[in-house]
Structure 1
């Protein structure tokens, strides 16, 4: 059996890591997938990604039509235009999938994520964390004498920026929901 031809900078730990995500044309795409709300559908969609070595950066799922028993899966993934087209085509071939929309290409979309961040601090750091929370419009949803839990809604970049500022102030833990997105307009 021939050895793998692994490019410099790639890792040899997993065959899934052989894609160069820093290559030209690789971009983040948000896909909205309308599916039947039945057992095993999410596993089939996720299996498509893992079976072909595609990574999922964010995943949210919720039932959107109780009577029609439909759910919406929002997936954020990375790839070239060709890879994204291939993912869309393969998702469209799964039987309980009704529609696949690339929100990144279709038009301007509103993307939001919810995060809970626990910050453990005292003294000046505690006061500074409250100042930053006010600037970012984060809400304090729990408070003890030693810690705060902040709730923040916004773009993934906004949440990343807030988390980066909170790290030196005592960030202990983060819980994130993943991206929810809709096209703007009618």
Structure 2
């Protein structure tokens, strides 16, 4: 049986890929941009959750430094145990009345009404299978007739391995085929 609390402890925290960037530089080819993820539980920010709600919402903040450009992304994900050895990740739309830059873990005034939440129509839910303390899943979401988003996530103690590739007409337009390796800072 899955230990959901341990999974959430692995998943939540502040992460960056500084070690991966240094290693790539030492090898003479920097591939990945510096990136930071801040992942925090947020059920306490969601009003009107059903009674005995055992699933866990998280806010994920992603920050990418491309040198000449900085990209900031914010997400609302739901994690839920669906079988004895798997967890499902479902992406939700950020409510339209909330500014993206205000949709952060540190925003103490942030409140979301569960009844207003909408599952993202673009992102296919991801199933993470647990094996020997490692949680792994991959999926493909069709963003349009010619655009695919390929995603994989591996969660282990103190590390996240995230692969995101956006392809249009079979050609990569964004992302990396090799995962970004995030080390947990705290």
Larger radius of gyration: 1
Q: Same fold (TM over 0.5)?
A: no
Pairwise TM-score range, normalised by the shorter structure: under 0.3
Higher relative contact order (CA 8 A, sep 6+): 1
The structure in which a higher percent of residues are helix is 1
| Normalised TM-score (structure 2) | 0.26
